[in-house]
Amino acid sequence: MAEKFDYSLTALSVDDPAAPGMFYKAISGYKLVAVEITLGNEADEVLNVNPLYAYLVDNRGYVYAAELAGTEKDQLAAMELAKGEKVKGWVGFTIPEDAIPAAIKFQLGALSSDFSASG
């Protein structure tokens, strides 16, 4: 679990590789990885949650953007979290077959350079 700016991010489980959703298009040489995360807000400001704010970092330091509708699992919902609220959901990522997931990052807003990370 990681905490920053009164927000928390926890990676609960990883499916590597993950079963793809019906809208996922496989790419040769790549695999789908799904990460179940929990986000919590203890800040006085509302936290905007969007699965596209999630990033996966591999064992070589490469960063990958989220894949919308990549997995059939319950995707992290786009919503606003008030102080004291939490949300849990899955986020999918397309990464090279030889990459190993090492950490998950969550951007704290669309125009923010602040991240909360969990490894």
What is the average per-residue pLDDT within 36-46? 92
What is the amino acid identity at position 10?
T
- Asked whether the beta carbons of 75 and 23 are under 8 A apart, the reply is no
Distances in whole angstroms, Cα of residue 86 to Cα of each of 10, 31, 51, 106: 11, 29, 14, 14
For residues 12, 14, 15, 18, the Cα torsion angle rounded to the nearest 10 degrees is: 100
For a pLDDT cut of 70, what percent of the chain falls above it? 87
Q: All domains of the chain, ordered by start, with CATH?
A: 2-110 (2.60.40.1240)
Q: What is the pLDDT of residues 58-107, one digit of tens each?
A: 999 999 999 987 888 899 999 999 999 999 999 999 999 999 999 999 98
Report yes or no on whether pTM surpasses 0.75.
yes
